[in-house]
Structure formats: structure tokens, C-alpha cells
């Protein structure tokens, strides 16, 4: 039986909160049903519709997996010399390894985060444990062109919004978490020092470094020390 595994991320660029990756494994029939239900790039859907579709996707797929990568984990990865593209390749491979049936032919379609499709694909493949039954495709705008990736995009986006809601209950109005959001920047300026060790901020981001340059110097120092150990 031929299967399709779509993978996409949400929350790659925010200053606050986790990055989410999701994978959805479907048959061709299930993919068509998900498409007819209205699945498309999650950014093109209102959140209420994403929530409704996420339940349909979970019910009409063979399996799915959602991975949450905290801001703290992202900073630690960057400080040890592993950039965000490589980290995302690692997480995508973790999803593939978890959902691979190892007996069915599976087309894996990943929404590629890198401008260099071939180099990123090769990095991804290097982290996959069983490749014999897999055909790997890495594309830009895959969430727009492939229903299985749209489905993964929806699951990832819903999980990201859930994570943001939890942070708002705990810390107050953080906005969307993106550097372009004035509410997020206001929260950062007023509360960054207070919550700097909470693990919710990506201190490796340029926005943090501009507002808290002294803390950024300490982060860079830790990065240098960790790199010397490897």
C-alpha cells in the first residue's frame, strides 16, 4: 500500500514560545477526504476552522505526530553550533522515524525551511533511520500544494496556538510571540528582565539582543565555551 507523509512547522520565527513540527501519515483516499473538507495552508484559515479540521485530520489519518521544541532548546541548539535549519531537519527526521511503517512505500513531503533544497534534503536524509521504503520530497510552499502537508501545517498551528494560550495564562498578554507584533515587543521590554531565565524567550534572536545587549554578551560567551568543547 502506498502512503503519504506530510510534514510542516509552525512557530519557526517567533521570539517567544516553542516551534512546533507535525507529521500526518495518510492513504491517498484519506488525503482526498482531508482536501475536500477544506484543508489548506493553515495561515489561510481562521483559527476556529483550524481547530475543527485538526480533529477531522486526526480521525482520518493512519497516524500523526506533533513535536514541540522549546525556546530554551532552540537557544541551546544554536549555542552548541547547530543552526535552526539543521535542528528542524533533526525534528523532521524524528517524525519520519516515528511514523515510518517500514513495510509500506511512503512518499514523504516536507515543507522545506531552507533556500537550499538539495542541501537541506541531504541533511534530513542523514538523520533518517530506515530509508529503503521512503521517497523523500522537500519543497517550498508544500503546505499550499499538498493536502497532507496542509494537514500537518494545521496540526502544528493549532498546537502552537495552544502553547501561546498557556503562556498567556502564566505570564500575561505576550501577543503572538512574533517580533513584528507590538504587543510582544511591549511585553518583552517590560518583562524580559523579570522572566529572562524562564525559558520562554529565544535569546539567540536579534530582537532580544538589541533590547538586552548585556545578557546577549553572556549568551555569546556561553556559546563560545560550548563550541570549544566539541
In sequence order, which residues have a C-beta less than 8 Å from that of residue 200 and are 6 or more positions away? 16, 17, 71, 167, 171, 174
pTM above 0.85, yes or no: yes
- Residue 63: count other Cβ atoms within 10 Å of its Cβ: 14
Domain range 168-229, its CATH number among 1.10.10.460, 1.10.3720.10, 1.10.10.10, 1.20.1730.10: 1.10.10.460
CB 135 within 8 A of CB 108: yes
Per-residue pLDDT at 116: 96
CB 42 within 8 A of CB 50: yes
Per-residue pLDDT at 213: 87
Closest C-alpha among 175, 196, 170 to residue 185: 175
- Residue 225: count other Cβ atoms within 10 Å of its Cβ: 10
CA distance 205 to 164: 18
Mean pLDDT, 10 residues at a time, the chain of 230 residues: 93 96 97 88 80 93 97 94 96 98 96 96 97 96 93 95 96 96 96 94 93 67 38
Per-residue pLDDT at 226: 37
Domain range 2-166, its CATH number among 3.90.226.10, 3.40.50.300, 3.90.1150.170, 3.30.420.10: 3.30.420.10
Q: Is 211 helix (H, G, I), strand (E, B) or coil?
A: helix
Closest C-alpha among 76, 77, 44, 39 to residue 58: 39
Domain ranges (residues) in the chain = 2-166, 168-229
Amino acid at each position: 500500500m502506498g502512503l503519504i507523509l506530510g510534514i510542516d512547522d509552525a512557530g519557526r520565527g517567533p521570539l517567544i514560545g516553542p516551534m512546533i513540527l507535525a507529521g500526518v501519515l495518510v492513504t491517498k483516499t484519506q488525503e482526498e477526504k482531508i482536501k475536500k473538507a477544506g484543508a489548506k495552508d493553515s495561515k489561510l484559515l481562521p483559527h476556529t476552522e483550524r481547530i475543527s479540521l485538526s480533529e477531522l485530520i486526526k480521525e482520518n489519518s493512519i497516524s500523526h505526530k506533533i513535536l514541540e521544541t522549546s525556546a530554551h532548546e532552540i537557544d541551546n541548539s544554536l549555542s552548541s553550533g547547530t543552526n535552526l535549519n539543521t535542528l528542524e531537519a533533526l525534528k523532521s527526521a524524528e517524525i519520519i522515524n516515528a511514523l515510518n511503517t517500514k513495510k509500506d512505500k511512503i512518499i514523504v513531503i516536507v515543507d522545506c525551511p531552507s533556500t537550499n533544497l538539495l542541501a537541506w534534503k541531504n541533511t534530513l536524509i542523514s538523520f533518517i533511520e530506515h530509508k529503503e521504503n521512503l521517497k523523500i520530497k522537500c519543497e517550498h510552499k508544500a503546505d499550499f500544494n499538498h493536502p497532507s502537508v496542509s494537514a500537518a501545517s494545521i496540526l502544528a498551528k493549532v498546537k502552537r496556538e495552544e502553547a501561546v494560550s498557556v503562556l498567556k495564562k502564566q505570564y500575561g498578554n505576550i501577543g503572538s510571540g512574533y517580533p513584528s507584533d507590538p504587543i510582544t515587543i511591549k511585553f518583552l521590554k517590560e518583562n524580559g528582565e523579570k522572566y529572562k531565565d524562564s525559558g520562554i524567550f529565544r535569546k539567540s534572536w536579534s530582537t532580544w539582543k538589541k533590547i538586552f545587549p548585556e545578557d546577549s554578551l553572556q549568551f555569546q560567551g556561553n556559546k563560545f565555551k560550548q563550541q570549544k568543547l566539541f
